[in-house]
Amino acid sequence: MRHIVLNDAVVKGNSVYIKGKKYHYLKNVRRIKEGDELKSVIGNRVYNLKVEKIGDGVIAFDIISRDFIRRRLVPEIVVFQGILKSKKMDYIVSRLSELGVRAFYPVVMKRSIAGDYIGREKRERWMRLSEEGSKISGIENVMLIKSPDTLKYAVENLKGELIEDTDRGRGSFKKIMFSNNYDCKNNSLKSILMEADFKVDNNTTFILAFGPEGGFDPEEEDFLIDRGFIPASMGDFVMKSETAAVVGTGFVRVFYSDLEEQ
C-alpha cells in the first residue's frame, strides 16, 4: 500500500482529520470513499487509517494502527546544492527524494544565479516535491528541506542540525565535494569509495556537496577542503549541475546498497 504524507493532519485520540489541499487531493484525485483504507506518514509515525466520514471540507479517519517510522536507508546521505534556476532545483529535489536523501541544503554560492536564492514559496514547493518523491519510492522518511543559507553557515552548523533533525549523533561523516578541477583518474568518485582506508558502515552519513552552474568558486573549494571535504570528479564525464547531483548521489546509494540497518 503506497503511503501519503499528511503532516498537516490533526490527530485527536483515535481519529485523524484532514482539511485543505490534502482533502481535495484525497477526495477528487484519489477519489477515496468511506470504508477505504490508507497508509499515511504524519510526523515520525506511520498510520494505517480507515475513512470514517467524508464531510464538507473535512475527511475523518479512524486509526487502525500506528507505529514509529523504523526503516532507515543506510548510509544516510545529506546533499549541499548550490542554488540553480528554479526548474533545475525542482528536478533535483524530486530525484533526490526518490533516492532517499535524508536532508537537502539549498546553498547560496558565489556563482548562484541572482534572484533565485530565497523564498518561502520555493521552499514550500520543494517540500511538496519531496513528499511526492517519497510517495513514489515508498520511502517513509521524507527528505528534509532546509532553508537556503550561505555555504559557511550550512557547513559549520551541519552536525548540530543533523543531531536535532535526524537523531544522527553517532557514527562517522564522509564529506565529498564534486568538482571538475581535479584529476579524473585519481579523484574519481569510484576510486575514492574503493580506497582501502575509506571505511563505511551503517552508521556513516555522507555529506555530498555540488556546485551551481559554473561550479564552485576556488575560494569555496578551498573552504570545503579545509573542513574535511574530499574533492571528487565524475570521471571523464562533464555533466550539468543538476545531472551531476542526481548521478553522484545515486552512485553512492547504489554502491552501498548491500548495507543493512542494525
Report pLDDT digits (tens) over 104-136: 999 999 988 755 555 667 888 898 899 888 877
Residue 78, pLDDT above cutoff 90: yes
Task: Report the DSSP beta bridge partners of residue 12.
Answer: 15
Set of cell numbers at residue 226: 579545509
What value does the CA radius of gyration of the chain take, rounded to a whole number of Å? 20
Residue-level pLDDT at 86: 79
Q: Give CA–CA dist 166/102, Å, rounded.
A: 8
Find all residues with CB under 8 Å of 217, minimum gap 6, and list them: 109, 110, 111
Residue 169, pLDDT above cutoff 60: no
Residue-level pLDDT at 230: 94
Q: For domain 3-68, give the CATH superfamily.
A: Hypothetical PUA domain-like; domain 1 (2.40.240.20)
Instruction: Tell me the average pLDDT of the chain.
Output: 85
* pLDDT average, residue stretch 175-203: 86
Q: Give the pLDDT confidence of 1-51 residue by residue, as tens digits.
A: 567 878 778 888 899 999 988 888 888 888 999 999 988 888 778 889 999
Packing angle between helix 241-255 and helix 86-98, nearest 10 degrees?
Answer: 10
Phi, psi of 74 (to 5 degrees): -130, 145
Exposure letters 58-88 (e unless 16+ CB within 10 A, then b): ebbbebeeeeeeeebbbbbbbbbbbbbeeeb
Residue-level pLDDT at 171: 67
Residue-level pLDDT at 54: 92
Task: Report the DSSP beta bridge partners of residue 80.
Answer: 105, 209
Beta-strand ranges (E) seen in the chain are: 3-5, 10-12, 15-18, 37-42, 45-54, 59-68, 76-82, 103-108, 144-145, 149-150, 173-178, 205-210, 230-232
Q: Please state the separation of Cα 143 from the chain's center in Å.
A: 3
Q: Give CA–CA dist 252/76, Å, rounded.
A: 10
CA atoms within 13 A on the CB side of 180: 12
Task: Give CATH 3.40.1280.10 domain extents, the chain.
Answer: 76-255
Task: Give CATH 2.40.240.20 domain extents, the chain.
Answer: 3-68
158 CB-contact burial (10 Å; exposed 0-12 / middle 13-18 / buried 19+): buried
Phi, psi of 49 (to 5 degrees): -120, 155
Torsion of CA 52, 6, 121, 224, to 10 degrees: 180
Length of the chain: 262
Set of cell numbers at residue 144: 528534509
Residue-level pLDDT at 72: 65
Q: Is the pTM here over 0.85, yes or no?
A: no
Set of cell numbers at residue 81: 546544492
Residue-level pLDDT at 163: 47
Residue-level pLDDT at 22: 86
Residue 168, pLDDT above cutoff 70: no
Q: What is the three-class DSSP state of 232? A: strand
* pLDDT average, residue stretch 150-175: 70
Residue 226, pLDDT above cutoff 80: yes
Q: Which CATH number fits domain 76-255: 3.40.1280.10, 3.40.640.10, 3.40.50.150, 1.10.1840.10?
A: 3.40.1280.10
Residue 180, pLDDT above cutoff 90: no
